[in-house]
Chains A and B, each alone.
Chain A
Amino acid sequence: MDLLILSIVFIVYFLLVGYVGYLAWKKTKSSEDFMLAGRKTHPYIMALSYGATFISTAAIVGFGGVSGQFGLGLLWLVFLNIFVGIFLAFIVLGKRTRRMGQNLESLTFPEFLSRRFQSKFIQYFSGLIIFLGMPIYASVVLIGAARFMETSLFINFHLSLIILSLVVSAYVIFGGIKGVMYTEAVQGTIMFVGMIFLLVFTYWILGGIESSHMALTNLAPHFPASAQALGGTGWTTFPTLGSDIWWYLVSTIIVGVGIGVLAQPQLIVRFMTVKSDKELNRAVLMGGLFIFVIVGTSYIVGALSNLYFFDTLGKVGVDVVGGNIDKIIPTFISSALPEWFVYIFLLTLLAAAMSTLSSQYLAQGTSLGRDIYQTLKKKKDVGSVKLTRIGILIAVVLAFILSLILPISVVAQGTALFYGICAAAFLSVYVCALFWKRATREGAIAGIVSGTVVSLFWLLFMFKKTAIGLGVCKFLTGQAILVTTMPWPAVDALLIAVPISLIFTVIVSLLTKPMAEEHIDKCYNGIGSTSNNLIKTNENINKDH
Chain B
Amino acid sequence: MSSQRYRLSGGTTIRTDTPLSFTFDGKSYHGYKGDTLASALIAAGVHLIGRSFKYHRPRGIMSAGSEEPNALVRVGTGAYAEPNLKATQVELYDGLIATSQNRFPSLKYDVGSINSVMSQFLPAGFYYKTFMWPASFWMTYEHFIRNAAGLGKVASDPIDPERYEKTHRHCEILIAGGGGAGLMAAYQAALSGQRVMLVDEQAEFGGWLLSDDAVKIDNMPAYDWVREMQSLLSNMDNVTLLPRTTMFGYGDHNYITLAERVTDHLSPRPSHLPRMRLWKVRVAQVILATGCIERPLVFGGNDLPGVMLASAVQSYITQYGALPGSRAIIVTNNDTAYQAALAFQNAGGFVRAIVDTRTTVKGAWVKAAKDAGIDILSGHGLTGAYGIHHVGRVEISPITADGREITGEAVHMDCDLVMMSGGLTPTVHLHSQARGKLVWDEKHLCFKPGATHEAEQSIGACNGSFALSSGLAEAIRAATKAVKSTGGTCTALSVPDVTALRINYAPMAYWKAPSQAGAGQGPKAFVDFQNDVTSADIQLAVREGYQSVEHVKRYTTTGMATDQGKTSNMNALGILADALGHEIPDVGTTTFRMPYTPTSMGMIAGRDIGGLFDAVRLTRMDSWHRAAGAKFEHVGQWMRAWYYRHDGETMEQAVTREVLAARTTAGLLDASTLGKIDVRGKDAATFLDRIYTNKFSSLAVGKCRYGLMLKDDGMVMDDGVTTRLADEHYHMTTTTGGAAGVLDWMEEWLQTEWPELDVFLTSVTEQWSVATLSGPHARAILEAADISVDLSDTAFPFMSMKQGYVSGLPARIFRISFTGELSYEINVPARYGVALWTALMKAGEAFGITPYGTEAMHVLRAEKGFIIVGQETDGTVTPLDLGMNWIVSKKKPDFIGKRALERTSMADPKRKQLVGLRTDNPDDVIPEGAHAVLDPNQPPPIDMLGHVTSSYASPNLGYSIAMALLKGGHKLIGETVWIPMLDGQKPIKAVVTDTVFYDAQGDRLNGTSSS
Q: Do A and B come from one complex?
A: no
